[in-house]
Amino acid sequence: MPTEQTGAAQLAHEIYDEINRRTSQYADFDVSQLEESRQYFDLSAPGFRTRRFDVLTTLVGLPIPQELQDALTCQLDAIVDLLPKGIRVYRVRPERLHWESHIIRRPGEPEPPVPLDEVAVRFAAVATEAAAFSIEYRGFFISPDGTIAFQGYGPTAELRTALVRALPFSSSRQNQTGHISVARILDPVGDAEFRNLLALRATCDTEHFGELPVRQIKLVSERRWYMEEYEIVREALLGG
């Protein structure tokens, strides 16, 4: 088990490093990259709400533990404080923060070829056989498209692999880490402010924010991005 955990941490570290390397190649957020984020929002609506769509996913959270919520929110405040006034930033509400373990259907992808009840049965069967674990959160990354996420380190591969086997019709685009997305920056911020963001990220790279116990997972039908509208289809305890 220690070897598996070390390997998982190394893989996650390499993925986060690559994201941060790509971001650091810019002098500021590039509008063409930010369009990747803007497409998820109705920017003409008050508070630029996320757009409607249909997603079926599995996750841990809604909510995450209060102590972890508070730590991530406090650090996000420090990040946002570096931004110039007037910059559009979408912040995920603390009670909606989650770790997405497996995505069954993304927007525009086909419906599962089996009824939702059958998806729920397969999902619950995976949970019954899976062992509980924890994800540690250290540092954060900012991607070129303006996504801000906290870096999770944990042995997530076994659960993910089991969900892929049980739900082979799932989306081909899957996350590989335990990160929690908390915000999206939607405008360029300026060269100096961009450098300050990168400097803060580097300073916090090893800072420990807390742990997420993965003891229960949820099958969720999401109607707006970042869980602005959703329905919990089924909840299941790991290990039964």
**pLDDT of 151-202, one tens digit each?**
999 999 999 999 999 999 999 999 999 999 999 999 999 999 999 999 999 9
- Find the helix packing angle between 191-203 and 66-80, rounded to 10°: 150
Rounded CA-CA distance 122/198 in Å is 42
The total of other beta-carbon atoms located within 10 Å of residue 12's CB is 21
User: Quick check: 164 and 153 in contact, CB under 8 A?
Assistant: no
User: Dihedral of the CA atoms 195, 196, 198, 204 (nearest 10)?
Assistant: 160
What was the pLDDT predicted at 4?
53
What's domain 2-237's architecture? Alpha-Beta Complex (3.90)
Average pLDDT over residues 22-27: 97
**Positive or negative: CA dihedral 97, 75, 151, 14:** positive
14 Cβ contact partners less than 8 Å away, ≥ 6 residues apart: none
Any idea of the CA torsion for 51, 29, 183, 5, to the nearest 10 degrees? Answer: 120
Q: What is the pLDDT of residue 5?
A: 60
Q: pLDDT tens digits for 62-116?
A: 999 999 999 999 999 999 999 999 999 999 999 999 999 999 999 999 999 999 9
Question: Does the pLDDT of residue 142 top 90, yes or no?
Answer: yes
Summary mean pLDDT of the chain: 95
Residue count (the chain): 240
pLDDT band, residue 46 (cuts 50/70/90):
confident
- Phi, psi of 151, rounded to the nearest 5 degrees: -85, 120
Mean pLDDT for the stretch of residues 207-227: 97
Is residue 47 predicted with pLDDT exceeding 90?
Answer: no
Does the pLDDT value for residue 1 go beyond 60? no
Concatenated DSSP letters for 128-158? HHSPPEEEEEEEEEE-TTSEEEEEEES--HH
Quick one: which of 120, 136, 131 has its CA closest to 58? Answer: 120
Residue 222 parent element (H or E): strand 216-224
- Is residue 220 within 8 A of residue 233, CB to CB? The reply is yes
* pLDDT for 74: 98
Specify which residues 153 forms β-bridges with.
136
Phi and psi at 152, nearest 5°, equal: -100, 140
